[in-house]
Amino acid sequence: MRYRFSLRGRGDLTEWRDAARAFLMAGIVPHIIEWRTMDDADGLFGFDENHLPPPHPGCEPLSVSPAFMRLAQAVLCHSDPTRFALLYRMLFRMMHGGVVHGRHLLQMATDPDVVAASRLAKSVGRDYHKMTAFVRFKELPLTEGFAGRRRFVSWFEPDHFIIARVAPFFQRRFTDMDWVIATPKGSASWDGETLRTTDEPAEKPDLRDETDELWRTYYASIFNPARLKVKMMTTEMPKKYWKNLPEAELIPGLIANAEANVIDMARKAASEPLPFHHRIKEAAAKAPAEPMAAAGTLAALKQEARHCTRCDIHCLATQTVFGDGPPDARVMFVGEQPGDQEDLAGKPFVGPAGKLFNDVIGEVGIDRRSLYITNAVKHFKYEPRGKRRIHQKPNMGEVRQCRWWLTQELELVRPKLVVAMGATALFALTDMRQKLEDVRGEPIAMQDGRTLFVTVHPSYLLRIPDEGRKAEELARFRQDMNRIKRLAA
Ligand code: URA
């Protein structure tokens, strides 16, 4: 004898539980029951098949663990047609399978039935969460003269029969408004007093309103292209939900422009200097006035340069980085502009480029203390990027403005030999925009009787990516320093 039993099969625990209890109390083995739903082809006409067998004489009423009932409640919401048979098989095994394979079945995580049931329950859980995240309400216009609560409608397409399960969540979340959530697997509604659910399939309402625009604006504002991971995004927000999400229209465009937007964001990123920059700047501004240096001296020029506003770079920089060294040095080195570390320390060539410079001159036997070291531009020009300050080359206008200081340094220090390190220094000293290689490495007589020597900037050496080439260029730089040493002597 075989049994055939039809259920509505829309997530209701009680209909399956009542039938399962009757089969179990009659001792009916799982494999002779065919479980069907009303949606099966002839299911609707199958109710007369639903004869339940009488209980086996002497059969005790059953007690089933709450853990199994919780699992069954979730599994029954799944749309998999095998769920009823699976649960009945598990129930039967728990009742008849003895201590190990029976009562403790749920603890056997590798048992194929337990695995299958957990998989179905998890998938129902995922559907529940997607629904809580992707339901979008649209407001219904208020009837004229009606001053009641605002009313909202939403359409969602869940994979499983979860409407009764998820409805209390929406009741808690949207308690102040009246709403209906319609789905092809049933609907729920709330009117401020009663939460109603039905498992009858609903038709998709034709609704578009200005709340769509609100969702789009909201989504575009929270979309962070820098965090975009398309694969993860489509896992979190699977494409099947997009058609009912007003903001989904934006997604392809946002993805396509993500790279450009990231670059733009980086460009506009937080441009606040670090707090200690402010502190240093304020301390420099509040520094007790030094005794005025004698007019016409290098010290007086340095004091004056502290307040330089000849170009806009001073606005960003922490302080003026003036030349440093003996006021009667025979050799003056000119770089481009202070870098990040020089800007904070207030001294030229103390950062990475300065370290390389120190190393090389040290190797060839030049004493840095004998040199006057300065820059074509006396303020650090940079672009803020988050917490970093990215070096920016000064433009010709800025170099020309700042030449005013360099010219006076030259007049006051009167070096015999002036070394231009890099193209900016060469331009500042000569107004020449020549290729460095054309003038590098040979002394050049200047009109004022001084000698000019041109070499590369140490930062250039730091930027060479290829180690072999870097070593070659360093050797050439060392040669230049040797030459300078001989010229200075
Ligand atoms: N680069 C320069 O040109 N000058 C400095 O002081 C530091 C780095």
The amino acid that residue 136 corresponds to is: R
Q: In CATH, what number does 277-488 get? A: 3.40.470.10
Q: Count, in order, helices (H) and strands (E) of the chain.
A: 21, 14
C-alpha separations of 116 from 8, 86, 93 in Å: 22, 8, 15
What local confidence, expressed as pLDDT, does residue 48 receive?
46
Q: What global pTM score does this model have?
A: 0.50
Residue 271 CA, ligand 1 centroid: distance in Å: 22
Q: Which atom of ligand 1 is least distant from the CA of 341?
A: 7
At 334, is the secondary structure helix, strand, or coil?
strand
User: Where exactly does CATH 3.40.470.10 map onto the chain?
Assistant: 277-488
Q: Is 337 in the pocket of ligand 1 (CB under 6 A)?
A: yes
User: Do residues 14 and 46 make contact, with C-beta atoms less than 8 angstroms apart?
Assistant: no
User: Do residues 257 and 298 make contact, with C-beta atoms less than 8 angstroms apart?
Assistant: no
Question: Strand 451-455 relative to strand 417-421: parallel, antiparallel, unpaired?
Answer: parallel
At 184, is the secondary structure helix, strand, or coil?
coil
Q: Is 374 in the pocket of ligand 1 (CB under 6 A)?
A: no
What local confidence, expressed as pLDDT, does residue 275 receive?
61
Residue 353 CA, ligand 1 centroid: distance in Å: 7
Residue 340 CA, ligand 1 centroid: distance in Å: 9
At 177, is the secondary structure helix, strand, or coil?
coil
Residue 467 CA, ligand 1 centroid: distance in Å: 23
Q: Is 415 in the pocket of ligand 1 (CB under 6 A)?
A: no
Q: Is 338 in the pocket of ligand 1 (CB under 6 A)?
A: yes
User: Which own/partner pairs from 122-126 qualify as long-range (CB within 8 Å, at least 24 positions apart)?
Assistant: 123/78, 123/159, 123/160, 124/74, 124/75, 124/77, 124/78, 124/160, 124/162, 124/165, 125/74
Residue 337 CA, ligand 1 centroid: distance in Å: 5
Q: Which atom of ligand 1 is least distant from the CA of 373?
A: 6
Full pLDDT tens readout for the chain, 489 residues: 789 999 999 999 999 999 999 999 999 999 999 999 876 655 444 444 678 888 888 777 778 899 999 999 999 999 999 999 999 999 999 988 765 567 789 988 899 999 999 999 999 999 999 999 999 888 877 666 656 677 889 999 999 999 999 999 999 998 888 899 999 999 999 988 999 999 999 988 877 666 676 666 666 666 666 666 667 767 777 878 877 777 777 777 777 776 666 666 555 544 455 566 666 777 766 666 677 888 889 999 999 998 898 898 888 888 999 999 999 999 999 999 999 999 989 999 999 999 999 999 999 999 999 999 999 999 999 987 767 888 999 999 999 999 999 999 999 999 999 999 999 999 999 998 889 999 999 999 988 889 999 999 999 999 999 999 999 999 999 999 999 999 999
Residue 411 CA, ligand 1 centroid: distance in Å: 21
Q: Is 11 in the pocket of ligand 1 (CB under 6 A)?
A: no
Q: Is 459 in the pocket of ligand 1 (CB under 6 A)?
A: yes
User: Do residues 33 and 88 make contact, with C-beta atoms less than 8 angstroms apart?
Assistant: yes
Q: Which two tokens stand for residue 170?
A: 């929406």
SS3 letters for 391-443? ECCCCHHHHHHHHHHHHHHHHHHCCCEEEEECHHHHHHHHCCCCCHHHHECCC
Tell me which residue of 246, 137, 241, 121 sits closest to 188, measured CA to CA. Answer: 137
Residues 147, 252: Cα–Cα separation, whole Å: 41
Question: Strand 444-445 relative to strand 451-455: parallel, antiparallel, unpaired?
Answer: antiparallel
